[in-house]
Structure 1
């Protein structure tokens, strides 16, 4: 069994963060280890409070896992502040392990999950990832991405990594699709699933990135890992249990 590590925040309602990551890893048959960076008091309606883990303890968790497990892929999620970002970056950037970086800025319910002064440090971290997975808002913050100029590679190539930008919508033959674009150094690939009109989307970003990490660990190339992951998230939304008063959780066991 392959082992995958998630370095991310804890979601007390279980739909996003390390909880979503571990559920996703299990769904794909890989073993999931975790490093907690931040504790959140949250539910589907929003984040009520945030308690950051001391950066030294974050490093201790990383060292503990890497000393014992043969980690195949590392997924990185919510890091919250500059000190934690730098600690995580310095601990894993030179490892010969692919990194899937989900640059978490804001929750689905609109709560800020990254301190403003930490954005520059996060930008620097991006260059060490195999792929980063920003949504439209995060892409705008990272490299002034404009969805109306979705194929402007110049703004993205400076990142020296693959960039998967999520959450585009496009109507084709009277059918509305959700489209993610993968920008590589030389090409652009599109990944489509039908758009589902629903409030049940809590944790979809975390789930997509952790699914990509799991599938990379299983030996798939990046494009195939993304294709499988986008289909998995589509099914997870489609079969959501309809729990929560706000942005409802999805079903990781599909």
Structure 2
């Protein structure tokens, strides 16, 4: 009989929707987390019928069942970081906000509000409910469209992204990463993506939150499905391992270029990013 030789990784939790096409949501989250050496647990907030061509149906789960899933995980695991993704309804957003209120570890909020097509995914009530969850976040990671929804101001340039990040920190988030993939290419150069991190290391010499910009090559592809999920999950995983917000963001943003470049060419529509390359040395 062989000797039992287990590993004891940190545990990270994703609270998000399920993607039947496998490219985003909980499926991408767990892949990214395990690529970074953490054990991923999950709370499913909604099931979707989708593939590489689009979303055909969304079925939000009852908020009390979401709470039951969270309680089951929290009762058994020493959760070192939580990441939220698609929360689907105002009731679920409010429930998750209550659940994490006493969570004494990093919380990464990926406010999934706007589809790649630009379509709004949440009702106005659900969007409004995000304010308290953002205020509880260690890091909030909106794309430009989502940052515009959260702040009420257009986000089209890196300067706009910085302003939005400052406003999100003023709302209570410890830090905000405004992702630059949706910024106007003319504002940043067609070959460059600029992600803006505000507030990661406390106050700057000027007295306001610190600001860091990360420039990475833009990959010539539409196959970016799951990029936001994988990025926020990679950051949460690295925070679960004890890294700083800035350090976790720096590595995860750099890795995302390779995850897009080596994406999955599957299905008849644009493919998905490849979270398995995250965490590679």
1:166 corresponds, among 179, 183, 191, to 179
Select which of 213, 238, 257 maps to 1:190: 213
Q: Is the 8 A contact 1:39 1:51 kept in 2?
A: yes
- Structure 1 segment 37-186 matched on structure 2, within 5 A: 37-110=45-118, 112-145=120-153, 146-148=155-157, 149-150=159-160, 151-152=162-163, 155-161=167-173, 162-167=175-180, 168=183, 176-184=191-199, 186=209
With structure 2 as the length reference, what TM-score do the two structures score? 0.85
Residue 187 of structure 1 aligns to a residue whose secondary structure is: strand
How far residue 76 of structure 1 moved from its aligned partner, in angstroms, is 0.3
Matches within 5 A, 1:211-226: 211-226=234-249
- Decide which of 12, 15, 18 is 2:26's aligned counterpart: 18
Match of 1:2 among 7, 10, 14: 10
How far 1:110 moved relative to its partner?
A: 4.6
Question: Is residue 233 of structure 1 aligned with residue 256 of structure 2?
Answer: yes
Aligned mates of 2:131, 2:26 — CA distance in 1: 22
Any conservation in 2 of the 1:37–1:79 contact (CA below 8 Å)? yes
Assess, with a 3 A threshold, how the Cα gap between structure 1 residues 80 and 174 changes in structure 2: closer, same or farther.
closer
- Say which one has the larger Rg: 2
CA distance in 2 between partners of 1:69 and 1:27 (Å): 19
- Once the 2 structures are TM-superposed, how far is the Cα of residue 63 of structure 1 from its aligned partner? 0.3
TM-score calculated relative to the size of structure 1:
0.94
SS at match of 2:21: coil
Gaps of 5+ in 1: none
Unaligned runs of 5+ in 2: 1-8, 200-207
Q: CA deviation at 1:171?
A: 7.7
Question: d(CA) in 1 for partners of 2:169 and 2:37?
Answer: 34
